[in-house]
Amino acid sequence: MATHIEAYVGTAGHSAWFSDDLGETWVHPNSQSGMYLEARVWAICTHPQQPKWLYAGTDMGLFGWDEDSTRWQHIESPMKDVWTVAQSPENPDMLIAGTRPAGFFQSLDAGKTWKETTAPDVQAFSNINMGPTRVTQMLFDPIDLGTLWATVEIGGVYQSQDLGKTWCAKTLGLVSADVHGVAVIRGPKGEKIVFATTNCGLHKSTDNGDSWAFQPLDSQWQYTRAIVPRLDSDAVLFLTNGNGPPGNTGKLLRSMNYGETWHALALPGALNSTPWCVSTHAHDPMLVFMATNLGQLYRSTDGGDSWKRLPHEFGEVRTLHWRPVEYSPARPKHSITMRPPM
């Protein structure tokens, strides 16, 4: 068996795309693959204990990709519009998912059955959003293994301390309830630090989310989207920053000191919109992908010191993910019936 890197992009209207050459080229499963070609793919997740499987949250529900059959399978659930999905690091059969309108769901049997869990007032801000609220991220806490986090646009930050059975709002100190992402790290003295990103800026908590402090950025914009630790060191984090959704420019920021200060990274060319997604993996912490909201894609192989803009440009990108995949040399890496690139 050999190992290669497989990358995935989820788009808002052109389904999911695959790359097995570090993002240089992309292929698109065709209409016989099991997922509608114009689906909106909001989230993709994989687990190292399931090397031939991945989950995708879409506007048509939850799907699973099977490497053996090279097909998408629709997973029956009470969820219609799935905006985020995550698997427990300890148990890949434990899934949490978030929807639009905002709702929290849990499965303990790899998606065979689902239960909607208790999240008080998760719809309270629907009048502000001028439409349905949505869950933008769900995260298994890497430090406190029984704790989960969820962010809601517009609705704030939620925390569960019983693996997703019940939830409580953690909003004290947030300058905006329009929350996009969350990250949990261990600080320089071993303390737990939680970050949350919003349309009005970055927030930090040192008391497990009980209170938040606004962290002004040295940037002309405070809009923040994704915050992602580099998986070799909690000291290193990436933060996407721009002039709104989708915006027409922005910055990819990096901190080398646990989020105390941030510096813009040099990206080749002109950005067409706000940087939106960052993807890292423990298999190679130096390999980092970044996508803008309107489809530009960048890659770093040195942990963010330098970047290459990749040739393919998508429409609107909503999620970005990569992982190592084992394959047999006797079987092509992509034995998939593909739609030609557009």
Residue 196, CA distances (Å) to 84, 164, 174, 229, 271 in order: 16, 19, 9, 13, 24
Token reading at 300: 């770093």
Joined tokens for residue 187: 């600080």
CA distance 289 to 19: 12
Give the amino acid at 128: I
Tokens of 103: 């709702």
Q: List per-residue pLDDT tens for the chain, 342 residues long.
A: 678 899 999 999 999 999 999 999 999 887 788 999 999 999 999 999 999 999 999 999 999 999 888 999 999 999 999 999 999 999 999 999 999 999 999 999 999 999 999 777 776 665 565 678 999 999 999 999 999 999 999 999 999 999 999 999 999 999 999 999 999 999 999 999 999 999 999 999 999 999 999 999 999 999 999 999 999 999 999 999 999 999 999 999 999 999 999 999 999 999 999 999 999 999 999 999 999 999 999 999 999 999 999 999 999 999 999 999 876 654 445 545 444 444
Residue 101: Cβ within 10 Å count: 15
Q: Is 301 helix (H, G, I), strand (E, B) or coil?
A: coil
- Residue type at 303 in one-letter notation: G
Cα–Cα distance for residue pair 64/233, rounded to 1 Å: 31
pLDDT at residue number 124 = 61
Domains of the chain: 2-339 (2.130.10.10)
Cβ neighbours around 233 below 10 Å, total: 13
What local confidence, expressed as pLDDT, does residue 120 receive?
Answer: 72
Sheet of 250-255, strands arranged across? 223-229, 237-242, 250-255, 263-264
What pLDDT is recorded for position 342? 40
What pLDDT is recorded for position 128? Answer: 61
CA atoms in the 13 A half-sphere facing the CB of 209: 23
pLDDT, position 127: 55
Q: How far apart are CA 6 and CA 161, in angstroms?
A: 33
Residue 133 has which token pair?
């609220």
Residue 187 per-residue DSSP state: -
| Residue-level pLDDT at 181 | 98
